[in-house]
Amino acid sequence: MFDFAVFGSLFLTLFVIMDPPGITPIFLALTSGRPAKVQRRMAWQAVCVAFGVIAVFGICGQQILDYLHVSVPALMIAGGLLLLLIALDLLTGKTDEPKQTKDVNVALVPLGMPLLAGPGAIVSVILAVQKADGVTGQISVWSAIIAMHIVLWITMRYSLVIIRVIKDGGVVLVTRLAGMMLSAIAVQQIINGVLQVIHTA
């Protein structure tokens, strides 16, 4: 039988961590100025990249971390620093310069990873897979992961309608807002990593 408790628990956890509503302004800011067809493709690519990363770590994540001698707090701090660099670009308006971003596929970095498939999501999936009992538990876990990525795709895919409403001026405002939100997320992630290092020391 399908374990709805396991499904619901992991789905809600990933929803809070991956935050589909919160990713919308960041997605709009990072993909602004591109044709609608390209933006739709980038939404699909970002979800595919995130799912690929999550799947790899779900299957053999702990072995990867152990082999590289990388701790979870280190992963969190590194992800936070990368997000902070992106946030600073959004805040200072550097992403508005076509020469710097025209050929950059933001669907891979930072959208796919570490925004969607960040340390929090990776760790949650690793723990869920390890705790899942039998085939039923595994099916429930992977169903929750797939369902979450479908929600992410739908959210980003249809957020493109917002661009037609807010126009260029609104995109600039959303970009600055996204930069502030992303910088706060990045700093919090770094703080959480540092606190875990102190706690385990």
201 residues of the chain, pLDDT tens digit each? 789 999 999 999 898 888 888 788 888 888 877 888 998 999 999 999 999 999 999 999 889 888 999 887 888 888 888 878 878 877 886 654 433 344 568 888 888 988 899 888 998 899 899 888 899 999 999 999 999 999 999 999 988 787 677 776 777 787 788 788 888 888 988 998 899 899 987
Percent of the chain at pLDDT exceeding 90: 32
108 φψ region: left (φ > 0), alpha (ψ -120 to 50), beta (else)? alpha
What count of other Cβ atoms lies within 10 Å of the Cβ of residue 15?
A: 16
The pTM (predicted TM-score) of the whole model is 0.75
Interval 77-98: pLDDT, tens: 888 888 788 788 778 866 544 3
Q: Is 144 exposed, middle or buried (0-12, 13-18, 19+ CB in 10 A)?
A: buried
